[in-house]
Amino acid sequence: MRAPESLSQLRYVVPDLAVRPEPVRPLDLLLSSRVLFALLWHEPARQRVLKPAQQAMVTIPIQLRIGGHPPAPGSLTAIARSRGERGAKAGLTMLSFCGLAGLVAILPPHLPWVLASVGSGFYFANRQWKSGYQVQTFSGSCPRCGHELTIAAGEKVRFPMKLSCYNCHHHPVATAAA
């Protein structure tokens, strides 16, 4: 950089660069291959991957109950979902279904498609908001027949949760043991 010769020239000091970078034009940025691919083929945004130390992994002892039978013990290892995470995902779900409502509004008959989209948004946003845990592992057996019950890894659950026994076709209720 050149040093100013007087105080009046102080604001006109410009660094001497051999090559100045070209300014980025918005159209060039929009037409870059990665952004265009994301817009056209709906590339999912990268999710922030939490390290195991940052995740709130909890093991919850549970009791499986069916009326008329003694409760069966079980355990659930899950990631506790924070209120902020649940709220953000519920809001994004509702926002996406409202955007879908704007798109399906052009299909005749117009009102039923919009109501179905907004109603589905409320349903799925409510499910996102109320699910407090994301299952990693589950172990437990039916209190009636002793058959091993299953919950898929990654499923979002809350307590009390109703499970299905595919052996005796009863529905035990899992509650957190005190």
3-state secondary structure 41-65: HCCCCCCCCCCCCCCCEEEEEEEEE
Identify the weakest region by mean pLDDT among 54-58, 105-109, 120-124. 54-58
* Confidence (pTM): 0.63
Interval 45-53 mean pLDDT? 48
Q: What is the pLDDT of residue 55?
A: 66
Specify the higher pLDDT residue, 42 or 168: 168
* 63 confidence band (pLDDT: 50, 70, 90): very high
Rounded-to-integer distance, Cα 74 and Cα 146, Å: 12
> pLDDT, tens digit, for every residue of 6-17?
555 545 444 554
Residue 178: the pLDDT is 73
- Rounded mean pLDDT, 80-98: 94
